[in-house]
Homo-oligomer: A and B are copies of this chain.
Amino acid sequence: MPKPPARRDTSLEHVYAVIMAGGSGTRFWPLSRRQRPKQLLELFGKGTLLAQTAARIRPLVPPERTYVFTNELLRDAIRRSLPEVPRRQIVAEPAARNTAPSLALAAHEILRRDPDGIMLALPSDHIIRKPARFLKVLRAGCKVASVEGHSVIVGLKPTEANTGYGYVRLGKIKRRLDGSEVYRVAKFIEKPKARAAARYLASGNYLWNGGMFIWRASTLLGNLRRYQPKMARGLERIARAGCATSPATLRKLYPRLEKISIDYALMQKMRSGVYALAADIGWSDVGSWSVVYDLSPKNGKGNVRPARSLCLDARRNMIVAHRKFVVAVGVEDLVIVETEDALLVCARDKSQEVGKAVQELDQQGRSDLL
């Protein structure tokens, strides 16, 4: 008897997570350092943002199907933060090439293991306050990606006219799937000016692009061959040698790949097959100390502070201190962060400027503080 035609297995057992954990932000200095970037900080309760990211998706993706892409500087710390993830699935890129090469490499790894593999690409340093809702959205997204073979972005319903995020404009066609709204994507839009952001928010026809994507690994690589043939060839050479088994090839070829985000490399170029799920999941990219303040539980005076502190006539301050007893007197709307070797005192509404201070330290040659 002839074999029946090969049929794609679309069950959720083929879902793999690819957590992107190579970031090196400076906005949480002095808590964040080169060797301890934001994803390795415990900003909210127990566990690093990275560990919380992995834990959040665990009902859908167990550690055996979780990959983490990072760099050599962070690999050991990430292994410590995720002891349940197999060590060989925590991959250190030999050079930072942004998300497109990284995710394509992940696709090769997954495809070799599972031809029906579905990839969840997730940043490692965001928070999601409605994890159950998030899992429902992911499951719906996996169906769209798996059964229909589409590229899916998990888009966030805007709650303010934020100019710090990219947006996606939604097309007209729309349906509901397991409680999630699925839209055709009309356009990817870069960080807008304030007026445009306000318009986007008012129209209800835009979502934030939080960098969360879902594809079949084969879909991603197919699109890569079409839109980024040079990069696709480079990655195929790496894949043939075996990324994990031949680190020498990876180290030689990976740095030559174009440094480009998946948004630029693929999503913005694709004419069809790109869908967005509109997610209301309490998402935040936690972009500054001010956001941590907003999301943290406060006492009656609006202070976020450790037990070893005293606030006298002080309001709406955020105090993070690891060793010292902190006394705040008559101050308002400050961020105060004390670490082993440094102290930050920052106006809360200027906390997005902390990165500039870190640049200045870098220019002054204070690499001990970076």
A1 on the B face (CB < 8 A): no
Q: Which chain A residues have a beta carbon within 8 Å of chain B's beta carbons?
A: 29-30, 310, 312-313, 321, 323-331, 334, 336, 338, 341-347, 349-351, 353-354, 356-357, 360-361, 364, 366, 369
Copies in the complex: 2
Partner of A329, one of B324, B325, B342, B353: B353
Partner of A343, one of B338, B351, B356: B338
- The answer to whether A321 touches B345 (Cβ under 8 A) is no
- The answer to whether B327 touches A343 (Cβ under 8 A) is yes
Whose C-beta in chain B lies nearest to the C-beta of A29? B327
Set of chain B residues within 8 Å of A338, measured between Cβ atoms: 324, 338, 343
Partner of A341, one of B324, B341, B342, B347: B324
Set of chain B residues within 8 Å of A349, measured between Cβ atoms: 330
- The answer to whether A329 touches B347 (Cβ under 8 A) is yes
Partner of A327, one of B324, B329, B331, B344: B344
**A contact face: mostly helix, strand, loop, or mixed:** mixed
- The answer to whether A326 touches B345 (Cβ under 8 A) is yes
- What are 29 sample pairs from A and B whose C-beta atoms fall under 8 A apart? A29-B327, A30-B327, A310-B361, A312-B353, A312-B360, A313-B353, A323-B341, A325-B342, A325-B369, A326-B343, A327-B343, A327-B344, A327-B354, A328-B344, A328-B346, A329-B347, A329-B354, A329-B356, A330-B353, A331-B334, A331-B345, A331-B346, A331-B347, A331-B350, A334-B345, A336-B343, A338-B343, A343-B343, A345-B345
Set of chain B residues within 8 Å of A366, measured between Cβ atoms: 325
Most B-side CB within 10 Å, residue of A329, A331, A347, A361 = A329
**Smallest CB separation, A331 vs chain B (Å):** 5
Whole-angstrom CA separation of A360 from B330 in the bound complex: 15
Whole-angstrom CA separation of A354 from B357 in the bound complex: 29
Set of chain B residues within 8 Å of A325, measured between Cβ atoms: 341-343, 366, 369
**Smallest CB separation, A284 vs chain B (Å):** 21
Set of chain B residues within 8 Å of A364, measured between Cβ atoms: 310
Set of chain B residues within 8 Å of A331, measured between Cβ atoms: 334, 345-347, 350
Most B-side CB within 10 Å, residue of A30, A325, A349 = A325
**Smallest CB separation, A270 vs chain B (Å):** 41
Whose C-beta in chain B lies nearest to the C-beta of A350? B330
- The answer to whether A312 touches B357 (Cβ under 8 A) is yes
**Smallest CB separation, A228 vs chain B (Å):** 40
Whole-angstrom CA separation of A330 from B351 in the bound complex: 8
